[in-house]
């Protein structure tokens, strides 16, 4: 696969993606098979490395190695997964973390989450799909898990024209499993939960949250199964209210509160988040801490304006519920929402509601989601901890 003149600059700077409009028209891209291994060259024919290709995608190639004569097989996967494992084992005492994070671990298209003796794998590219058997074998060799599950039901597979499915390839995967995070236990659904069942990326942000909630009245919006709210309870919150649109998720949050001996301090509201915030405001409810962890409002670059306005409205509704000296913990998982713009929307929300704000902390994804320094796409999570200042 030969690139057009000048289109190798980003790759030479370390990026791993090739877009279809960067390929020289002389390369018969449409004749290549999805997932096929190709040699990349610049416009003069000089080698750039090897890549998995998919002619049906805008991202038509993903670099696997800078050495043009190398291969990509089970042995390579084993070396890279072993390297990823060493990092996580050096960071975390308990085996609950994201073991492999795609491009950041030199494994484009592969995510592996570790839930103790159970591994949940997501494959999002045709190249990795071809290697699913080798991936499963390597994971068994490295970790001897009791079960390996493929949660290949993510919408990202549609971009590669891949079938969506869930399959257990080793052992018997439990419907529920127990994990521990920041001294708090959670029952997690691996088969029916969102993503792979849990969001490990907020671990460090949730740990920082704990210092603000002792003795406080806390509102956890978009709570899912209580990752934030239940941890607030174990950190000493006087009471927590979880808001989510899923009755199933809220039932799980209540079970998780009970699992930590805090069921009597948890309330749940099943409703749309915006509607719930408006209703709480109309009822005169006030909180010491409000946590906002919504899904991505900006999934595509063209959605930025509308998504930014949604973040502003959401944060304004939350600020109206906060007591003076109250704490707002606000997150965005939208890669297309720049950090500076996200903070600007929080600032605008403060101006709209007449609340003077102080930014106390900034957070991003945990260390088991390392950032590839040449790929801003791997740096997506933004969290601001903001105080409502008096006077």
One of 57, 60, 242, 333 is an active-site residue; which one?
Answer: 333
Which of 108-122, 167-181, 247-261, 357-371 is least confident? 167-181
Q: What would the two tokens of residue 366 be?
A: 């945990």
Q: State residue 149's pLDDT score.
A: 95
For 31-81, write each residue's pLDDT tens digit.
Answer: 889 999 999 999 999 999 999 999 999 999 999 999 887 889 999 999 999
Walk me through the domains of the chain, giving residue ranges and CATH numbers: 9-65 (2.30.130.10), 74-174 (3.30.750.80), 181-389 (3.40.50.150)
- The region that residue 312 occupies, defined by phi over 0 for left and psi between -120 and 50 for alpha, beta otherwise, is alpha
Element (H, E) at 115: strand 110-115
Neighbours of 338 (CB within 10 A): 16
For 339-365, the pLDDT digits (tens) are 999 999 999 999 999 999 999 999 999
Confidence of residue 29 (pLDDT cuts 50, 70, 90): confident
pLDDT at site 28: 78
Q: What are phi and psi of 218, to 5 degrees?
A: -120, 140
- pTM for this prediction: 0.94
pLDDT tens-digit profile of 276-301? 999 999 999 999 999 999 999 999 99
Tokens 């298209």 belong to residue: 109
pLDDT tens, position by position, 143-155: 999 999 999 999 8
CA 42 and chain centroid, separation? 33
Give the integer Cα–Cα distance in Å for 197 and 187: 10
Question: Which pairs from 271-277 meet CB under 8 Å and 24+ separation?
Answer: 271/243, 271/245, 272/245, 273/221, 273/222, 273/243, 273/244, 273/245, 273/314, 274/313, 274/314, 274/317, 276/221, 276/243, 277/221, 277/243, 277/314, 277/317, 277/318, 277/321
| Averaged confidence pLDDT in the chain | 95
Query: Please, which pLDDT band fits residue 391 given cuts at 50, 70 and 90?
Result: low
333 is catalytic: yes
């Amino acid at each position: 696969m030969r690139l057009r003149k000048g289109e190798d600059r980003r790759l030479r700077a370390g990026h791993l993606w090739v877009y279809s409009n960067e390929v020289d028209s002389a390369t018969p891209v449409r004749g290549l098979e999805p997932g096929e291994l190709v040699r990349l060259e610049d416009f003069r024919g000089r080698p750039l490395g090897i890549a998995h290709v998919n002619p049906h995608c805008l991202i038509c190639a993903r670099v696997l190695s800078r050495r043009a004569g190398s291969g990509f097989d089970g042995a390579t996967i084993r070396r890279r997964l072993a390297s990823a494992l060493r990092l996580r084992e050096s960071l975390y005492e308990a085996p609950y973390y994201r073991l492999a994070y795609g491009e950041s671990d030199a494994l484009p298209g592969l995510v592996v989450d570790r839930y103790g003796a159970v591994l949940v794998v997501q494959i999002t590219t045709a190249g990795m799909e071809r290697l699913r058997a080798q991936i499963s074998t390597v994971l068994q060799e490295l970790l001897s898990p009791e079960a390996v599950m493929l949660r290949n039901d993510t919408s990202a597979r549609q971009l590669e024209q891949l079938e969506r499915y869930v399959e257990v390839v080793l052992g018997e995967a439990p419907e529920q499993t127990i994990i521990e995070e920041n001294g708090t236990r959670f029952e997690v659904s691996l088969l029916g939960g969102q993503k792979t069942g849990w969001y490990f990326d907020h671990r460090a942000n949730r740990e920082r949250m704990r210092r603000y909630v002792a003795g406080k009245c806390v509102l956890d919006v978009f709570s899912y199964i209580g990752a934030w709210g239940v941890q607030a309870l174990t950190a000493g919150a006087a009471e927590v209210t979880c808001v989510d649109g899923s009755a199933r998720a809220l039932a799980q949050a209540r079970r998780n509160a009970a699992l930590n001996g805090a069921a009597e301090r948890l309330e749940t509201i099943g409703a749309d988040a915006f509607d719930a915030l408006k209703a709480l405001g109309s009822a005169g409810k006030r909180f010491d801490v409000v946590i906002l962890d919504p899904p991505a409002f900006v999934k595509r670059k063209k959605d930025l304006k509308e998504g930014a306005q949604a973040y502003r409205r959401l944060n304004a509704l939350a600020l109206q519920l906060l007591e003076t000296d109250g704490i707002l913990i606000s997150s965005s998982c939208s890669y297309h929402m720049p950090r500076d713009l996200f903070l600007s929307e929080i600032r605008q929300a403060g101006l709209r509601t007449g609340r003077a704000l102080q930014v106390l902390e900034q957070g991003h994804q945990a260390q088991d989601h390392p950032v590839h320094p040449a790929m801003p796409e791997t740096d997506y999570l933004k969290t601001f901890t903001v105080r409502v200042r008096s006077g």
